[in-house]
Amino acid sequence: MNIQRGNEQTSDHAPAPGPSAVAGAGVRFDNVQKSYDGETLVVDGLNLDIAPGEFLTMLGPSGSGKTTTLMMLAGFEPATHGEIFLNDQPINNVPPHKRGIGMVFQNYALFPHMTVAENLAFPLSVRNTPRAEIEAKVARALEMVELPDFGNRRPAQLSGGQQQRVAVARALVFDPALILMDEPLGALDKQLREQMQYEIKHIHANLGVTVVYVTHDQSEALTMADRICVFDKGIVQQLSTPDELYEKPANSFVAQFIGENNRLSGTVKEVSGDECRVDLDGGGTVTALAVNTDGPGSRATLSIRPERVVLAAQDGGSGRGDVPNRLSARVEELIYLGDHIRIRMTVAGRDDFVVKLRNDGTRCPLKAGDETAVGWLAADCRALDPIDD
């Protein structure tokens, strides 16, 4: 399988820092490896540049290496090989408390016996900050997370969302140039989690600090990040902006992990320019973009997003022009989801092919058991490295 390793990534899409009195810190991983047993590499040859002021999300399944990478940057885990730089200064031998990095954890890690104000004052007091300056910075941090009147409360008197805001404020109170967040919203319910995503995103935009954020939730990563670094088996599979990651996955793992994705397996019949013809295992031949294949005779997995599929009944009003890739389909299930209808179909021998039909207020013309046809543009279909079903 052809994959993009960390040393092939670039920072072409790194944004400029936002406005802030605190300049964001630049981070660089130079051929960093991590092994716990001396044999298996949990992080394999990571080369990654994070721009000052950037919000970078490390995304991947459990065991992919994303959290280990964050812990090495924080100083809680030593790198087995390679060097980590903060503002062009090597930090491998710098202890965690001297790196000047703010941390936010999933379990909040607030001191239960302290008030909110005392929790916020703690990282300042250990840095021997003058008392008057502590009071001013604590007040400013509480304003920043919209909890100005909560200084005298204890963590047990706060809701989960309020505790998480305090945890964010504590990470920001001493004006770090870099904030690390490890699954910080994992303990919150869906509605509060989504609200906190926007609040953290807005805080970052206002301050311009550098944020490195770890999550396994791909929708969270798409919502918050300037760029997303997708990990699998210790290797960076792709590093891109959210829209590029979704629209142009570099390999089958990324296509399957980011968003909902239809996949069809087949054999490459011919390649012409940037397109190829693929004979599907379940019957039929389609045209696709030749993104990550080994030429005629090789196996390929086709990736098509559900919202890019056109139903035969939509052809007249779709505005998409000619849809050359057309296959017969059988409707298996329809699920009403408010803004769209999710239609599960059997296409080319697969019964897990999904079409998302936008809810425009009219009645869906299909029902379970109907025979119809589906189609899509070659530009919306990517021929990638094969994966086992």
In a domain, 125, yes or no: no
Q: Is the pLDDT of residue 3 over 80?
A: no
Q: How confident is the model at residue 389 (pLDDT cuts 50, 70, 90)?
A: low
Same domain flag for 93 and 199:
yes
Same domain flag for 248 and 279:
no
Quote the Cα angle for 141-142-147, to 5°: 155
> What is the C-alpha separation between 262 and 388, in angstroms, rounded?
14
Helix orientation angle between 160-172 and 131-144, rounded to the nearest 10 degrees:
130
pLDDT of residue 322: 58
Pairing of strands 262-272, 285-290: unpaired
Per residue, the 3-state secondary structure of 42-96, as one string, reads EEEEEEEEECCCCEEEEECCCCCCHHHHHHHHHCCCCCCEEEEEECCEECCCCCH
pLDDT of residue 388: 65
Quote the Cα angle for 216-219-224, to 5°: 95
Q: Is the pLDDT of residue 151 over 80?
A: yes
Same domain flag for 308 and 380:
yes
Contact 281, 266 (CB under 8 A): yes
Q: How confident is the model at residue 96 (pLDDT cuts 50, 70, 90)?
A: very high
Which phi-psi region, left, alpha or beta, contains residue 39 (left: φ > 0; alpha: ψ -120 to 50)? alpha
Same domain flag for 186 and 299:
no
188, HSE (Cβ side, Cα atoms, 13 Å) = 23
Would the CA dihedral through 79, 89, 24, 14 be positive or negative?
A: negative
In a domain, 126, yes or no: no
Q: Is the pLDDT of residue 207 over 90?
A: no
> What is the C-alpha separation between 220 and 197, in angstroms, rounded?
7
Residues pairing with 276 in the sheet = 271, 288
Of 234, 252, 270, the residue that ends a domain is 252
pLDDT in tens, 310-347: 987 554 434 444 567 899 999 999 999 998 999 999 99
Q: Is the pLDDT of residue 278 over 60?
A: yes
Quote the Cα angle for 142-144-145, to 5°: 70
Same domain flag for 41 and 22:
yes
- Single out the residue of 304, 358, 359, 350 nearest to residue 329, CA to CA: 350
In a domain, 267, yes or no: yes
Output the pTM of the full model. Answer: 0.85
- Those residues whose C-beta lies under 8 Å from the C-beta of residue 51, and which sit 6 or more positions away, are 11, 14, 15, 16, 17, 24, 26, 210
Q: How confident is the model at residue 144 (pLDDT cuts 50, 70, 90)?
A: confident
Which run of H or of E encompasses 270? Answer: strand 262-272
> What is the C-alpha separation between 343 and 354, in angstroms, rounded?
6
In a domain, 369, yes or no: yes
- Those residues whose C-beta lies under 8 Å from the C-beta of residue 373, and which sit 6 or more positions away, are 311, 312, 326, 327, 328, 329
- Those residues whose C-beta lies under 8 Å from the C-beta of residue 137, and which sit 6 or more positions away, are 120, 124, 129, 173, 174, 175
Same domain flag for 241 and 302:
no
In a domain, 165, yes or no: no
CB neighbour burial string for 261-282, b if at least 16 within 10 angstroms, e if fewer: bbbbbbbbeebeeeebbbebee
Which phi-psi region, left, alpha or beta, contains residue 307 (left: φ > 0; alpha: ψ -120 to 50)? alpha
pLDDT of residue 254: 95
Q: Is the pLDDT of residue 291 over 50?
A: yes
pLDDT of residue 303: 95
Q: What is the CATH number of the domain that holds 86?
A: 3.40.50.300
Same domain flag for 77 and 193:
yes
The sheet that has 27-35: what strands, in order across it?
A: 41-50, 27-35, 81-86, 89-90
pLDDT of residue 272: 92
- Concatenated DSSP letters for 21-41? SSPPPPEEEEEEEEESSSSSE
Same domain flag for 362 and 333:
yes
Of 252, 270, 297, the residue that ends a domain is 252
> What is the C-alpha separation between 136 and 224, in angstroms, rounded?
29
Same domain flag for 299 and 368:
yes
Tokens (6 digits) for 240: 């891109």
Domain tally, the chain:
2
CB neighbour burial string for 205-226, b if at least 16 within 10 angstroms, e if fewer: eebbbbbbbbbbbbebbbebbb
Of 212, 234, 252, the residue that ends a domain is 252
pLDDT in tens, 161-181: 889 889 989 998 988 989 999
In a domain, 130, yes or no: no
pLDDT in tens, 54-64: 999 999 999 99
In a domain, 223, yes or no: yes
> What is the C-alpha separation between 295 and 268, in angstroms, rounded?
7
Same domain flag for 207 and 291:
no
pLDDT of residue 20: 34
Tokens (6 digits) for 95: 């202890």
pLDDT of residue 23: 61
Average pLDDT over all residues of the chain: 88
What is the arithmetic mean of pLDDT over 83-105? 93
Q: What is the CATH number of the domain that holds 312?
A: 2.40.50.100
Same domain flag for 207 and 86:
yes
Same domain flag for 278 and 302:
yes
Domain extent at residue 276: 261-384
Q: Is the pLDDT of residue 240 over 50?
A: yes
> What is the C-alpha separation between 98 and 181, in angstroms, rounded?
18
Which run of H or of E encompasses 105? Answer: strand 101-105
- Single out the residue of 60, 36, 57, 32 nearest to residue 44, CA to CA: 32
In a domain, 145, yes or no: no
Lowest-confidence pick of 161-175, 234-248, 372-386: 161-175
pLDDT of residue 287: 95
